[in-house]
């Protein structure tokens, strides 16, 4: 599959992959809080991220671009991050949000304390007829990225997860028309879904006026969803369809990096047991000419852990862990000292893959 026409837009990311120092910030396939996204993109552009992975929504893409432009207005950036849109092909844990049954909620505040992005709060309101003040739970769905940790803390079962309905071809066309130069496909357990729609993918990418040929392609292969044999089959199918030079995202425990290690569902990867490393090891044995990038429970130690384990990866994606570290700073970035701290934290993550020598 020829994607040379897009090289001028993505070559710095490809160079980082070739040099095995690639870093991707994952904002989240379901995170749609535009202010948070703008701020994250602002900070990580200054820090030197190569790719920023986003929900496939028009307002999200625009917010990311505002953040990148803001960074460039402060300091000219030689190579701004490539924006990547994650596209759902079938049921996948990255594409879901919490739903709240307010009638069951008893305002215990457990979800407020555990939510890594502050999607819940309790607000007071007045009851004019009864002349008293009452309280209710407020849920900001745009801040939810679908980690699901809140469910295990809700003792009255007032929370559940709702899956997004996939519309891959329509979503892909929308992203290509917006000029998005990198796409990541999530097929969950349904490996064959990718093969079913591949002709449509090629048609959209080559037949859309705004597109310059095939974008930089990534395929997420999850350890929680597939057996070892299915992981091998998925990797080989992705290569068969898209050819060499693609990214295979070796996903460990999705959205677990921001979970406190002392919490009930702590699987904060970030060690030699990270299942993403096992996925990478399985795929590496297939000897495909592809780029391997780990994700899911990753942090600043993950790249080094892969090297220590003898697993040949090209980069790391960090999402919920990065957001957790940056959350205390995101609402006060106009303050120079706060911005300085935020960028230093982000840069430490970017540089954990071996350093960034392009900026």
CATH number at residue 189: 3.20.20.70
* Pair 33, 107 in one domain: no
pTM, 2 dp? 0.88
Q: Which two tokens stand for residue 82?
A: 């490539």
Confidence at residue 243, expressed as pLDDT on a 0 to 100 scale: 95
In a domain, 157, yes or no: yes
- Dihedral sign computed on CA atoms, order 289, 302, 18, 317: positive
The domain that holds 121 is classified in CATH as 3.30.70.20
Q: Which two tokens stand for residue 166?
A: 């996939």
Closest CA to 55 of 63, 66, 67: 63
| Domain region containing 111 | 97-163
* Pair 8, 31 in one domain: yes
Q: Which of 146, 163, 180 is the last residue of a domain?
A: 163
Confidence at residue 91, expressed as pLDDT on a 0 to 100 scale: 76
* Pair 119, 29 in one domain: no
* Pair 211, 324 in one domain: yes
Question: Could you give the C-alpha distances from 201 to 40, 170, 247, 319, in angstroms and in order?
Answer: 29, 10, 16, 26
For 156-285, strand residue ranges (E) read 159-163, 182-186, 216-222, 247-251
Q: Provide the number of structural domains found in the chain.
A: 2
Closest CA to 298 of 55, 22, 114: 22
pLDDT (tens, 9 = 90+) of the chain, 359 residues, equals: 444 445 447 899 999 999 999 999 999 888 999 999 999 999 999 999 999 999 999 999 999 999 999 999 998 888 999 999 999 998 777 778 898 999 999 999 999 998 888 889 998 876 655 555 688 899 988 888 888 889 999 999 999 988 888 899 999 999 999 999 999 999 988 999 999 999 999 999 887 655 556 789 999 998 888 999 999 999 999 999 999 999 999 998 765 655 554 444 444 444 457 889 999 999 999 999 999 999 998 999 999 999 999 999 999 999 999 999 999 999 999 999 999 999 999 999 999 997 554 54
* Pair 113, 232 in one domain: no
Q: Strand 51-54 relative to strand 159-163: parallel, antiparallel, unpaired?
A: unpaired
Task: For residue 132, count other CB atoms closer than 10 A to its CB.
Answer: 8
User: Please, are residues 193 and 96 in contact by the beta-carbon 8 Å criterion?
Assistant: no
* Pair 26, 62 in one domain: yes
Q: Strand 291-295 relative to strand 182-186: parallel, antiparallel, unpaired?
A: unpaired
* Pair 150, 219 in one domain: no
In a domain, 143, yes or no: yes
* Pair 240, 149 in one domain: no
* Pair 214, 290 in one domain: yes
Confidence at residue 145, expressed as pLDDT on a 0 to 100 scale: 82
């Amino acid at each position: 599959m020829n994607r040379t026409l897009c090289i001028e837009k993505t070559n710095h990311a490809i160079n980082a992959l070739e040099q095995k120092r690639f870093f991707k910030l994952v904002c989240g396939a379901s995170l749609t809080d535009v202010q948070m996204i703008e701020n994250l993109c602002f900070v990580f552009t200054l820090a030197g991220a190569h790719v920023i992975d986003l929900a496939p929504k028009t307002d999200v893409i625009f917010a990311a671009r505002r953040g990148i432009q803001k960074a460039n207005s402060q300091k000219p950036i030689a190579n701004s991050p490539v924006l990547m849109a994650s596209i759902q092909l079938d049921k996948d844990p990255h594409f879901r949000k919490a739903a709240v049954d307010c009638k069951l909620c008893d305002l215990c505040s457990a979800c407020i304390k555990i939510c890594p992005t502050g999607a819940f709060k309790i607000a007071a309101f007045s009851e004019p007829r009864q002349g008293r003040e009452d309280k209710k739970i407020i849920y900001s769905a745009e801040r939810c990225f679908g980690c699901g940790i809140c469910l295990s803390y809700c003792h009255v079962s007032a929370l559940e997860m709702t899956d997004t309905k996939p519309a891959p071809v329509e979503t892909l066309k929308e992203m290509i028309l917006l000029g998005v130069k990198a796409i990541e496909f999530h097929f969950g357990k349904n490996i064959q879904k990718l093969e079913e729609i591949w002709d449509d993918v090629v048609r959209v990418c080559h037949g859309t006026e705004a597109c310059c040929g095939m974008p930089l392609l990534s395929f997420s292969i999850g350890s929680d969803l597939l057996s070892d044999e299915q992981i091998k089959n998925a990797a080989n199918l992705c290569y068969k369809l898209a050819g060499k030079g693609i990214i295979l995202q070796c996903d460990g425990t999705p959205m677990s990096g921001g979970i406190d290690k002392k919490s009930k569902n702590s699987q904060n990867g970030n060690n030699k047991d990270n299942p993403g490393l096992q996925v990478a090891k399985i795929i590496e044995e297939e000897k495909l000419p592809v780029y391997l990038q780990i994700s899911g429970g990753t942090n600043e130690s993950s790249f080094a852990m892969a090297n220590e384990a003898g697993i040949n990866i090209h980069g790391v994606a960090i999402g919920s862990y990065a957001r957790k570290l940056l959350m205390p700073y995101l609402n006060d970035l106009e303050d120079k000292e706060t911005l300085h701290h935020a960028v230093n934290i982000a840069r430490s993550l970017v540089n954990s893959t071996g350093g960034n020598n392009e900026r």
